[in-house]
Amino acid sequence: MSERAGIPPELARAVKLVVLDVDGVMTDGGIYYGASPTGETVELKRFEITDGLGVNLMQRAGIHVAIVTGRQSEVVAVRARELAIEEVHQDPAAEKLPIVRDILRRRGIDWDAVAFLSDDLADLPVLTRAALPVAVANAVPEVSSVARWRTARPGGAGAVREFAEALLRARGDWSRVVEQYLEEREERANGPA
């Protein structure tokens, strides 16, 4: 299946959990290192702002979103809090399969209700079990070959937002969640009546 074919509506409607990798999916994979005035190492990552709205819209549609990454970074925890993502798992050993299995067990979700956005080899054990394996445009060939859907955008450049829109359109939820989002923004702008 290619990004042009679209996501089958029956598959899209079955998705209850979207799992996101971070480096190479939510970011471009680059890591910036610096030092604080006291000499502490500081790690920075660049996140695409439109991906955040994609996460928000999926959550509005009742889809759980989780972050499972193979690096430990405080900036990931900060971004997850901004996006109200409760399931944030950072495992330096990149043992993602046991983490996702635990999420599924605790939330009562089966593999046939999981979408996973991926770019690299460490993701393959989860990717091959997910009902909707997704490769971002910059994914390695091994990931692309098992993906059921591919984004046109690379990680860190709106791939999560692109997937969110495609998923929600296939489910028939796009117009409703966008309308809800815009109504809430208008209410906040207008203040109390």
Separation CA 140–CA 120 (nearest Å): 6
> What CATH number does the domain containing 182 carry?
3.40.50.1000
* Mean pLDDT along residues 87-112: 96
On whether residue 108 sits in a domain, the answer given is: yes
Mean pLDDT, rounded, for 82-109: 96
| Domain-embedded: residue 78 | yes
Higher-pLDDT residue of 164 and 72 is 164
pLDDT tens for 175-186 read 999 999 999 998
pLDDT in tens, 105-129: 999 999 999 999 999 999 999 999 9
Per-residue pLDDT at 190: 84
Give the integer Cα–Cα distance in Å for 3 and 150: 5
Question: Around 91, how many Cα atoms within 13 Å sit in the side-chain half-sphere?
Answer: 15
Question: Could you tell me which residues come within 8 angstroms of residue 43 by beta carbon, excluding any fewer than 6 positions away?
Answer: 31, 32, 33, 73, 74, 75
| Domain of 118, in residue numbers | 10-190
Give how far Cα 152 sits from Cα of 56, 100, 158, 171, Å.
Answer: 21, 26, 9, 20
Q: How many domains does the chain have?
A: 1
Is 121 part of any domain? Answer: yes
In a domain, 143, yes or no: yes
Token readout for 104 is 């599924």
Is residue 1, in this structure, part of any structural domain at all? no
Whether 89 is covered by a domain: the verdict is: yes
Is the residue at 80 inside a domain?
Answer: yes
3-state secondary structure of 47: coil
